């Protein structure tokens, strides 16, 4: 705002623009450049606080800089396709998309409500038992014994074979997995078993929606 006032003062004192010397023109140009840079900084901050953070998070080390915002203001954060690896500051985010990132350590994300880790290098998900909606599709996860209380769980296109701990999951996608035994899944509401090697479906009579 102050810079804008300076520009208008320069122009107000020169009704005849042909009288403005080169030095004044450069001064106006400098002020306008500063205004543009200031506007870009404000726009970036606005995007951050309004949950459109992909533009800001292009650098791997940017997360610690905005720790305060992350812990107090951010509801939904999409970091998909970025180079971020350290997500230890993101445990208070409600909805977090980390699709196709280099993240491996998700031990700090146990309180996230909705978490997308699809196509990441994550293997240890023992800390994610309280997540409501969890997408682990196209990962190398095999041990999902801690995820029995997740409401909606996507394990499609993973090497998962043992699903005996998932009997209380509401919505479960096991398509393109190594699962063969589904005897523990009789209380699941929605179950996707497309392209699985399951032979015995007798335990699934109470499943409301079965995709096979």
> What is the per-residue pLDDT across 103-119, written as a single tens digit (0 to 9) for each?
999 999 999 999 999 99
8 A C-beta contact, residue 183 and residue 205: no
Residue 54, Cβ neighbours under 10 Å: how many? 14
**Stretch (H or E) spanning 173:** strand 171-173
| 114's tokens | 């909705």
Structure tokens at 94: 């409600």
Mean of pLDDT values over 36-40: 53
Model-wide pTM > 0.95: no
Using alpha carbons, list the distances in angstroms from residue 139 to 54, 66, 118, 144, 152: 22, 28, 6, 12, 16
From 102, 161, 98, select the one nearest 128 (Cα to Cα). Answer: 98
Task: Lowest mean pLDDT of 71-80, 99-108, 197-206, name the range.
Answer: 71-80
Mark residue 157 as left, alpha or beta (left: phi above 0; alpha: psi -120 to 50; beta: remaining).
Answer: left
Helices (H), the chain: 2-12, 22-49, 67-72
Q: What is the pLDDT of residue 110?
A: 97
The separation between CA 55 and the C-alpha centre of its own chain, rounded to angstroms, equals 13
Highest mean pLDDT among 13-22, 25-34, 39-48, 155-164: 155-164
Name the pLDDT band for 77 (thresholds 50, 70, 90).
confident
pLDDT reading at 1 higher than 50:
no
pLDDT digits (tens, 9 = 90+) for 87-108: 988 898 999 999 999 999 999 9
Question: Where is pLDDT greater, at 201 or 33?
Answer: 201
Name the one residue in this structure whose structure tokens are 């994550």: 122
What pLDDT sits at residue 97?
95
- What integer is the mean pLDDT of 165-173? 97
pLDDT at 73 exceeding the cut of 90:
no
At 108, list the tokens: 């700090």
Is the pLDDT reported for residue 71 higher than 60?
yes
Predicted local distance difference test score (pLDDT) of residue 25? 43
Domain ranges of the chain: 2-49
């Amino acid at each position: 705002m102050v810079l804008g006032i300076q520009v208008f003062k320069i122009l107000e004192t020169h009704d005849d623009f042909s009288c403005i010397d080169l030095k004044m023109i450069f001064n106006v140009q400098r002020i306008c450049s500063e205004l543009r840079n200031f506007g870009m900084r404000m726009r970036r901050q606005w995007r951050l606080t309004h949950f459109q953070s992909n533009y800001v998070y292009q650098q791997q080390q940017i997360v610690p800089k905005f720790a305060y915002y992350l812990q107090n203001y951010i509801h939904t954060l999409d970091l998909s396709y970025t180079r971020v690896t350290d997500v230890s500051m993101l445990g208070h985010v409600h909805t977090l998309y980390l699709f196709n990132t280099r993240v491996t350590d998700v031990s700090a994300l146990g309180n996230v409500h909705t978490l997308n880790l699809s196509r990441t290098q994550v293997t240890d998900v023992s800390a994610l038992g309280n997540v409501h909606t969890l997408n682990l599709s196209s990962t190398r996860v095999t041990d999902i014994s801690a995820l029995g209380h997740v409401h909606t769980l996507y394990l499609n296109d993973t090497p998962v074979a043992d699903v005996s701990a998932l009997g209380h999951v509401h919505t479960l996608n096991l398509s393109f997995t190594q699962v063969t035994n589904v005897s523990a899944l009789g209380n699941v509401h929605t179950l996707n078993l497309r392209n699985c090697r399951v032979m015995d479906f007798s335990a699934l009579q109470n499943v409301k929606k079965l995709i096979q």
